């Protein structure tokens, strides 16, 4: 993993390299460069220089041609660079070649994301998942990594040392650590599955907030629920799923869950690593897809999110698409153009709360489609059923007469079997 300097006041100086294959549009290349810079900033490094290298095909030795590689190595020395960061994945041999050529640390986008995830994971499951992903990333890179492991603090608890014998020892330690982490993860996931099972026994619908990282998902959760979820102007500000209860205009309770943000080129092993939060999307009644309306890569962000949702089995879910941050857009033409293209979309601002009423109404309509009216006559000694109705349904009328309670309510279809014997309709 990336080797940080000792003090926060002395950040790493980075040189960013974005590789563009022939035919790739300049706008897409620029967006990838900006996103890599944002990832680097989130990781805590200072971007000193960046360069786009256009190639016809990937080269085996340095990914790019030897001439361009030598030029970047020279510039890195001239600018006193600490780390070169590639937007594309580097093979273990390419990383070793680059570090031999430049005499500094060279990492790729995957390693940057792993580093960010490691710094931001807070629950036990997320910590285990990150450690597992990092260990599996390190295994094929031991020959390159052993010189850095001896200087790392904490982490996987590996020993550093020079020579092939020490590398073999470290490899065995990592393999043992991988096996141990997989065992711990299995236990934690079993416990989480039991907790979810208990939650699912409560007949309460649930929705997951998904979208590109930094689009405003946590801000939306806070706005709708008065929660105190972390909100930062950084990528991956939230990794662990946060669930809050909200009450819709029809008095129906809804569980709303914030999920990890997506990015382009999100490594598949990290999708597996963060099933804890992504599963909330796969199991939700419906999804709220938050999009940053100010992004110049809006369409790419929409596509990336949809691709990840498909990969986790949530591609066919009912989705409310929400375009956030309309308060930042001063040109009405921009909003009108997006409205004309995405006619089913809702336009909101979590900062000013503009448009949140329309979103709540849309959520209510989805829940209402699952409700059916019933008239019930419930004995007084079965008041727990009345309490259950108020938790799960939209009670429109409630009358107390003698030893019975007469209720009219719109009840979710999956709850109606609990009340059939008391139906008078």
Q: CA–CA separation, 382 vs 278, rounded Å?
A: 39
Supply the pLDDT for residue 313: 80
Whether residue 40 contacts residue 47, with contact meaning beta carbons closer than 8 Å, is answered with yes
**Tokens encoding 322:** 């929400």
Residue 299: C-alpha distances to residues 117, 212, 302 (Å): 25, 11, 5
| Pick from 71-85, 120-134, 172-186: least confident | 120-134
Supply the pLDDT for residue 205: 82
- pLDDT at 149 > cutoff 70: no
Question: What is the pLDDT confidence band of residue 7, given thresholds at 50, 70 and 90?
Answer: low
Residue 198: C-alpha distances to residues 206, 285, 343, 392 (Å): 14, 17, 38, 15
Whether residue 327 contacts residue 297, with contact meaning beta carbons closer than 8 Å, is answered with no
Task: Report the pLDDT averaged over residues 270-280.
Answer: 64
Whether residue 92 contacts residue 140, with contact meaning beta carbons closer than 8 Å, is answered with yes
Tokens 């308060």 map to which residue? 327
Query: Whole-model pTM?
Result: 0.72
List of residues 6+ apart from 98 with CB closer than 8 A:
62, 69, 84, 90, 106
Supply the pLDDT for residue 260: 74
Q: CA–CA separation, 241 vs 312, rounded Å?
A: 16
Supply the pLDDT for residue 54: 94
Whether residue 85 contacts residue 110, with contact meaning beta carbons closer than 8 Å, is answered with no
**pLDDT above 90 as % of the chain:** 33
Task: Report the pLDDT averaged over residues 284-301.
Answer: 90
Pairing of strands 346-347, 319-324: parallel
- pLDDT at 405 > cutoff 80: yes
- pLDDT at 122 > cutoff 80: no
- pLDDT at 291 > cutoff 90: yes
Q: CA–CA separation, 160 vs 171, rounded Å?
A: 11
The Cβ-side half-sphere exposure at 239, using a 13 Å CA radius, reads 23
Q: CA–CA separation, 253 vs 177, rounded Å?
A: 43
Three-class HEC string of the chain: CCCCCCCCCCCCEEEEEEEEECCCCHHHHHHHHHHHHHHHHHHCCEEEEEEEEEECCCECCEEECHHHHHHHHHHHHHCCCCEEEECCCCCHHHHHHHHHHHCCEEEEHHHHHHHHHHHHCCCHHHHHHHHHHHHHHHHHHHHHHHHHHCCCCCCCCCCCCCCHHHHHHHHHHHHHHHHHHHHHHHHHHHHHHHHHHHHHHCCCCEEEEEEECCCCHHHHHHHHHCCCCCCCCCCCCCCCCEEEEEECCCCCEEEEEECCCECCCCCHHHHHHCHHHHHHHHHCCEEEEEEECCCCCHHHHHHHHHHHHHHCCCCCCCEEEEEECHHHCCCHHHHHHHHHHCCCCEECCCCCCCCHHHHHHHHHHHHHCCEEEEEEEEEHHHHHHHHHHHHHCEEEEEEEECCEEEEEEEEEHHHHHHCHHHECC
List of residues 6+ apart from 186 with CB closer than 8 A:
none
List of residues 6+ apart from 46 with CB closer than 8 A:
11, 12, 13, 14
**Tokens encoding 202:** 């409560």
Question: What is the pLDDT confidence band of residue 188, given thresholds at 50, 70 and 90?
Answer: confident
Most confident of 19-33, 46-60, 152-166, 241-255: 46-60
């Amino acid at each position: 993993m990336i080797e940080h300097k000792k003090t926060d006041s002395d950040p790493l100086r980075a040189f960013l390299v974005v590789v563009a294959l022939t035919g790739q549009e300049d706008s897409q290349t620029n967006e990838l460069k900006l996103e890599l810079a944002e990832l680097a900033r989130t990781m805590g490094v200072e971007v000193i220089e960046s360069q786009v290298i256009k190639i016809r095909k990937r080269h085996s030795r340095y990914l790019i041609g030897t001439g361009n590689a030598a030029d970047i190595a020279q510039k890195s020395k001239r600018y006193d660079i600490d780390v070169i960061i590639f937007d594309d994945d580097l093979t273990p041999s390419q990383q070793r070649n680059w570090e031999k050529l430049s005499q500094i640390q060279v990492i790729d986008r995957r390693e940057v994301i792993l580093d960010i995830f490691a710094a931001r994971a807070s629950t036990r499951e997320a910590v285990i998942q990150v450690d597992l992903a990092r260990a599996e990333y390190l295994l094929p890179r031991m020959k390159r990594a052993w010189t850095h492991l001896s200087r790392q603090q904490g982490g996987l608890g590996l020993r550093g040392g020079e020579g092939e014998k020490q590398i073999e020892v470290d490899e065995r330690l990592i393999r043992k650590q991988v096996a141990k982490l997989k065992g711990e993860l299995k236990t934690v996931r079993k416990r989480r599955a039991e907790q979810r099972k208990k939650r699912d026994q409560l007949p309460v619908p649930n929705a997951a907030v998904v979208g590109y990282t930094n689009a405003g998902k946590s801000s939306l959760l806070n706005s709708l629920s008065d929660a105190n979820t972390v909100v930062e102007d950084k990528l991956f500000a939230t990794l662990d799923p946060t669930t809050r209860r909200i009450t819709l205009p029809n008095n129906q309770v809804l569980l709303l869950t914030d999920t990890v943000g997506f990015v382009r080129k999100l490594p598949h092993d990290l999708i597996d690593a963060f099933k804890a939060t992504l599963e909330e999307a796969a199991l939700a009644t419906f999804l709220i897809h938050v999009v940053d309306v100010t992004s110049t890569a809006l369409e790419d962000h929409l596509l990336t999110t949809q691709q990840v949702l498909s990969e986790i089995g949530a591609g066919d879910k009912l989705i409310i698409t929400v375009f956030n941050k309309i308060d930042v857009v001063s040109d009405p033409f921009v909003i009108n153009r997006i409205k004309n293209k995405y006619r089913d979309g809702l336009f909101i601002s979590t900062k000013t709360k503009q448009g949140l009423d329309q979103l709540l109404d849309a959520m209510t309509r989805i829940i209402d489609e699952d409700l059916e009216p019933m008239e019930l006559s419930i004995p007084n000694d079965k008041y727990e059923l009345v309490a259950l109705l108020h938790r799960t349904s939209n009670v429109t009328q409630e009358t107390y007469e003698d030893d019975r309670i007469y209720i009219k309510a719109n009840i979710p279809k999956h709850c109606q079997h609990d009340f059939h014997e008391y139906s008078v309709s």
